[in-house]
RNA sequence: GGUCUCUUGGCCGAGUGGCUAGGCAGCGGUCUGCAAAACCGCGUACGGCGGUUCGAAUCCGCCAGAGACCUCCA
C-alpha cells in the first residue's frame, strides 16, 4: 500500500496517519439513525461521508467490518414532556401504531433512501432493541467498577467519580469544572447526584410502552449505552474508527468513551471522526429546528423551498463537493451547480468509450491519478479530488476531439482509473438513460429520426433537420451533433 | 454566560507564508448551416484594523459578523 491515508482525529485534534490495529483489517463504527421519522438532508451527510471512507478503505485493500447501528429504543424527549417517554413511543401514540411498527416503517424508508443515494449497506447493522441484554451487562460491569449508582430503579453514571480516575471531557475539549457551571438543570432529574450524570438504565413510567425487564426495574437503556455496547461487541474492546456527526461529540460520544472506559478499563476508539453539519440559511438543519427538508422531498421536489427536484446523485455529489469537516450550505443555486457539474462529469465518463488511440500520449494520466489519491489520502479531501477529476474531464474531452493524443495502454489506464474513482470510490452512478436506453424500441425510434435528420442535413434541408431536433428537445431528448453523426440522451427531468 | 469554529470573487466551495483549486453562472473567441456540446481566454477574491516577515488570504493581536456545542440532534 503505497498511499498513506491521513485522517483527522477529533481526540487529538490533529491529522494522523491511519494505521489499523490489525494489519489489513479495519473496524469502523458509525452512529446510525434514530428511526422515528423520515431522514432529511442533514442525515445524509454522515452516511455519505462514511460511505466514502468505507469505499476508499476497501479500495486501498483493507478488509473492513463496518458497523452502523439502528437506534430503535430510548433517546429521551426533553420537550414539555414530563413523562420522560422516548421519541419512539411518543410518536407511536400520535400515530396509533405499535412502537416497533414505527421503527419498521422509518427503518424501511431509511434503507430506501440509502439505496437511492448509493450508500453501501454496512457489514452489520445492529439494533439497540436487539442488544438489551448486552446493555444490561455493561451497566452491571460499570456498577461493579464503582462508576454507577442506582436510584429508584434507575442507574446513573457517576461522572465525578469517573473523572477522578479518568478524564471526562477529553474528546469534546471540556473539563468537568466547566461542565459543572454550565449544565442546565432539567426537570425530573433530581434523582441524579449531579446534573451532568447520565442515565445508563431508566425505569419506565407506567405509560412508557417500550420497556424491558432488568434487575433494577422494568425500563430501558440510557441514551448512550447502545453504541458502547454494539461497537465493542462486534469490533472488539479496542477498534479503529468511530464516526458520526459533530453534534454527537458531546455528550453522546463523550459518554460512550466514559462508559467503555469505566466498563473495560481502557478506551475503545483509536480514531474519532466527525462530519460537520449541513446548514440552511446559515443555520444548522435539524429536526428540532424544523428547518429541514427530507430526502424524499428533495428527490421529488415537493417542498416549498425547492425550485425543482434534485436527484439522489445530485445530492451525493453536492455533499462530496465539500470537505466533510466543513459546513455546507444548502441552496437551490448550489444544488443546481452540482447537478450541472455532475452531468458534465458523467458525460466525460461516457466519452471515454469514444476516444481513439494514437501511438503516442500527450496527456499526463499518472499525474492525474496521483493528485486524486493525494487528495483522498489527505483526510478524505473529496472536493480536491473532484477538482482534479474535472481536469480529467477536460483531458477526456480534448482526447475525444483529437486535440490531445493517448496510447492504447494509457487509455486503458485512464478508463479504469476514472471509472474506479467515479463509481467505486465516490460512489456515483449514471442516472441518465444515455444513448443506450433500456428501451430498445424507443432507442430505435429516436435513432431512426436522427438518421433521417442526418440525411436532411446532408441535403441542406435545415427546416426538416431543425424540426426534428427541436421537437425531440421538447420531448426531453438532448441532441449533440458530432463529426461522425450524432449523440443523444434523455435529459434529466 | 462558558468552550470552540468560521468569515474567500455573482453563487457553492478548496487551499499553501511567495508559485494565486474546481464547479455553476457571466463575458469574449474557436468550432458548427444554425444550435447544443466541447475547447481556448477573461474577471485577479480572500470581513475590518494593526503587527511579525524581504513577502501573508495563509502566523499573532484586537474589533466586527456568523455559526456549533453546552439539552434530543447526523
Give the residue with minimal CA–C1' separation from B7: A282
Beta bridge partners of A221: A201
CA of A294 to C1' of B43 (A): 38
Q: Which nucleotide is at minimal CA–C1' distance from A45?
A: B74
Q: Which nucleotide is at minimal CA–C1' distance from A13?
A: B4
Give the residue with minimal CA–C1' separation from B38: A397
- SS3 for A142? helix
Locate A150 and state its grid cell. Answer: 442506582
pLDDT given at position A81: 43
Locate A192 and state its grid cell. Answer: 441524579
CA of A390 to C1' of B9 (A): 20
Handedness of CA A209, A213, A218, A222 (dihedral sign): negative
Task: Specify if A431 maps to a domain.
Answer: no
Length of chain A as a residue count: 493
Handedness of CA A433, A438, A440, A442 (dihedral sign): negative
CA of A331 to C1' of B20 (A): 28
My answer on whether A147 and A57 are in the same domain is yes
Q: Which domain holds residue A476?
A: 440-490
CA of A389 to C1' of B54 (A): 38
My answer on whether A457 and A413 are in the same domain is no
pLDDT given at position A425: 98
Task: Specify if A168 maps to a domain.
Answer: yes
Domain containing A332 — which CATH number?
1.20.120.640
My answer on whether A128 and A195 are in the same domain is yes
Q: Kindly state the helix (H) or strand (E) to which residue A157 belongs, with its residue range.
A: strand A154-157
Domain containing A93 — which CATH number?
3.40.50.620
Q: Which nucleotide is at minimal CA–C1' distance from A321?
A: B13
What is the C-alpha end-to-end distance of chain A, expressed in Å?
42
Q: pLDDT tens, A415-461?
A: 999 999 999 999 999 887 544 456 788 888 888 999 999 999 988 89
* A242 is annotated as contributing to ligand binding: no
pLDDT given at position A86: 72
Number of H helices, E strands in chain A: 16, 15
Intervals of chain A under pLDDT 70: 1-3, 74-85, 93, 95-96, 183-189, 433-438, 492-493
My answer on whether A221 and A325 are in the same domain is no
CA of A174 to C1' of B3 (A): 7
CB atoms within 10 A of CB A407: 15
Give the residue with minimal CA–C1' separation from B68: A247
Q: Which nucleotide is at minimal CA–C1' distance from A478?
A: B36
Q: pLDDT tens, A225-253?
A: 999 999 999 999 999 999 999 999 999 99
* A256 is annotated as contributing to ligand binding: yes
Q: Which nucleotide is at minimal CA–C1' distance from A198?
A: B71
- SS3 for A160? helix
- SS3 for A228? helix
Task: Please enumerate in sequence order all residues whose Cβ is within 8 A of that of A366, keeping only pairs 6 or more positions apart, or say none.
Answer: A413
Q: Which nucleotide is at minimal CA–C1' distance from A32?
A: B74
Q: How far, in Å, CA of A102 to CA of A35, rounded?
A: 8
Task: Specify if A31 maps to a domain.
Answer: yes
Q: pLDDT tens, A325-375?
A: 999 999 999 999 999 999 999 999 999 999 999 999 999 999 999 999 999
- SS3 for A190? coil
Task: Please enumerate in sequence order all residues whose Cβ is within 8 A of that of A84, keeping only pairs 6 or more positions apart, or say none.
Answer: A76, A77, A188, A202, A205, A208
Task: Specify if A485 maps to a domain.
Answer: yes
Handedness of CA A278, A279, A283, A285 (dihedral sign): negative
Locate A450 and state its grid cell. Answer: 436522427
CA of A195 to C1' of B61 (A): 38
The residue out of A425, A452, A468 marking a domain boundary is: A425
My answer on whether A269 and A305 are in the same domain is no
Produce one character per residue of A375-396: b if its CB has 16 or more CB atoms within 10 Å, e if not: bbbbbbbbbbbbebbeebbebb
Q: Please, what is the Cα angle at A424 between A249 and A67, to 5 degrees?
A: 35
CB atoms within 10 A of CB A207: 11
My answer on whether A315 and A402 are in the same domain is yes
User: Within its chain, how far is the Cα of A281 from the centroid?
Assistant: 21
The residue out of A241, A275, A309 marking a domain boundary is: A275
Task: Please enumerate in sequence order all residues whose Cβ is within 8 A of that of A327, keeping only pairs 6 or more positions apart, or say none.
Answer: A276, A277, A278, A279
My answer on whether A332 and A473 are in the same domain is no
CA of A134 to C1' of B6 (A): 41
* A31 is annotated as contributing to ligand binding: yes
Task: Specify if A121 maps to a domain.
Answer: yes
My answer on whether A338 and A411 are in the same domain is yes
My answer on whether A108 and A90 are in the same domain is yes
Task: Please enumerate in sequence order all residues whose Cβ is within 8 A of that of A433, keeping only pairs 6 or more positions apart, or say none.
Answer: A439, A489, A490
My answer on whether A390 and A320 are in the same domain is yes
Domain count, chain A: 3
Candidates A237, A241, A224; CA nearest to A30 is: A241
* A255 is annotated as contributing to ligand binding: no
Report the DSSP pairing between strands A148-151 and A154-157: antiparallel
Q: Which nucleotides of B are covered by protein (CB under 7 A)?
A: 1-4, 10-15, 21-25, 32-40, 66-74
Task: Specify if A430 maps to a domain.
Answer: no
My answer on whether A259 and A292 are in the same domain is no
My answer on whether A449 and A393 are in the same domain is no
CA of A372 to C1' of B49 (A): 40
Give the residue with minimal CA–C1' separation from B66: A282
Q: How far, in Å, CA of A174 to CA of A156, rounded?
A: 21
Q: Which nucleotide is at minimal CA–C1' distance from A345?
A: B23
CA of A15 to C1' of B59 (A): 19
Alpha-carbon distances, residue A387 vs A77, A170, A384, A415 (angstroms)? 43, 36, 5, 18
Give the residue with minimal CA–C1' separation from B14: A384
CA of A96 to C1' of B65 (A): 47
Q: Which nucleotide is at minimal CA–C1' distance from A77?
A: B72
Amino acid at each position: 500500500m503505497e498511499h498513506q491515508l491521513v485522517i483527522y482525529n477529533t481526540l487529538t485534534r490533529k491529522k494522523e496517519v491511519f494505521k489499523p490495529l490489525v494489519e489489513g483489517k479495519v473496524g469502523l463504527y458509525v452512529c446510525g439513525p434514530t428511526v422515528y421519522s423520515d431522514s432529511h438532508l442533514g442525515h445524509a451527510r454522515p452516511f455519505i461521508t462514511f460511505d466514502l471512507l468505507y469505499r476508499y478503505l476497501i479500495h486501498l485493500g483493507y478488509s473492513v467490518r463496518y458497523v452502523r447501528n439502528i437506534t430503535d429504543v430510548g433517546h429521551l424527549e426533553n420537550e414539555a414532556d414530563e413523562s420522560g417517554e422516548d421519541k419512539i413511543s411518543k410518536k407511536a401514540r400520535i400515530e396509533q401504531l405499535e412502537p416497533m411498527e414505527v421503527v419498521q416503517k422509518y427503518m424501511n424508508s431509511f434503507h430506501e433512501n440509502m439505496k437511492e443515494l448509493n450508500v453501501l449497506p454496512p457489514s452489520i447493522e445492529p439494533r439497540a432493541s436487539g442488544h438489551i441484554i448486552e446493555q444490561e451487562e455493561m451497566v452491571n460491569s460499570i456498577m461493579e467498577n464503582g462508576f454507577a449508582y442506582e436510584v429508584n430503579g434507575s442507574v446513573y453514571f457517576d461522572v465525578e467519580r469517573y473523572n477522578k480516575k479518568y478524564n471526562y471531557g477529553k474528546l469534546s475539549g471540556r473539563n468537568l469544572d466547566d461542565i459543572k457551571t454550565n449544565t442546565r438543570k432539567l426537570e425530573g432529574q433530581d434523582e441524579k447526584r449531579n446534573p451532568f450524570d447520565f442515565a445508563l438504565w431508566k425505569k419506565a413510567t407506567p405509560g412508557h410502552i417500550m420497556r424491558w425487564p432488568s434487575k433494577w426495574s422494568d425500563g430501558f437503556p440510557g441514551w448512550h449505552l447502545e453504541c458502547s455496547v454494539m461497537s465493542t461487541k462486534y469490533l472488539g474492546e479496542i477498534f479503529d474508527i468511530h464516526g458520526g456527526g459533530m453534534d454527537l461529540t458531546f455528550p453522546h460520544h463523550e459518554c460512550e468513551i466514559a462508559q467503555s472506559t469505566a466498563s473495560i478499563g481502557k478506551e475503545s476508539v483509536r480514531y474519532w471522526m466527525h462530519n460537520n453539519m449541513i446548514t440552511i440559511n446559515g443555520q444548522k438543519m435539524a429536526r428540532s429546528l424544523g428547518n429541514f427538508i427530507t430526502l424524499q422531498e428533495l428527490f421529488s421536489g415537493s417542498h416549498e423551498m425547492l425550485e425543482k427536484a434534485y436527484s439522489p446523485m445530485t445530492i451525493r455529489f453536492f455533499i462530496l463537493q465539500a470537505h466533510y469537516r466543513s459546513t455546507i450550505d444548502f441552496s437551490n443555486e448550489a444544488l443546481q451547480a452540482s447537478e450541472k457539474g455532475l452531468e458534465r462529469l458523467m458525460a466525460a465518463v461516457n466519452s471515454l468509450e469514444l476516444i481513439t488511440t494514437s501511438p503516442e500520449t500527450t496527456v499526463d494520466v499518472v499525474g492525474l491519478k496521483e493528485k486524486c489519491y493525494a487528495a483522498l489520502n489527505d483526510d478524505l479531501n473529496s472536493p480536491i479530488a473532484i477538482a482534479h477529476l474535472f481536469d480529467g474531464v477536460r483531458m477526456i474531452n480534448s482526447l475525444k476531439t483529437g486535440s490531445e493524443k493517448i496510447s492504447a495502454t494509457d487509455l486503458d489506464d485512464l478508463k479504469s482509473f476514472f471509472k474506479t474513482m467515479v463509481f467505486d470510490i465516490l460512489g456515483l452512478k449514471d442516472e441518465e438513460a444515455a444513448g443506450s436506453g433500456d428501451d430498445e424500441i424507443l432507442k430505435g425510434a429516436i435513432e431512426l429520426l436522427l438518421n433521417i435528420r442526418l440525411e436532411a442535413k446532408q441535403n441542406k434541408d435545415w427546416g426538416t433537420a431543425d424540426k426534428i431536433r427541436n421537437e425531440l428537445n421538447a420531448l426531453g431528448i438532448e441532441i449533440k451533433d458530432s463529426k461522425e453523426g450524432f449523440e443523444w440522451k434523455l435529459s434529466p427531468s
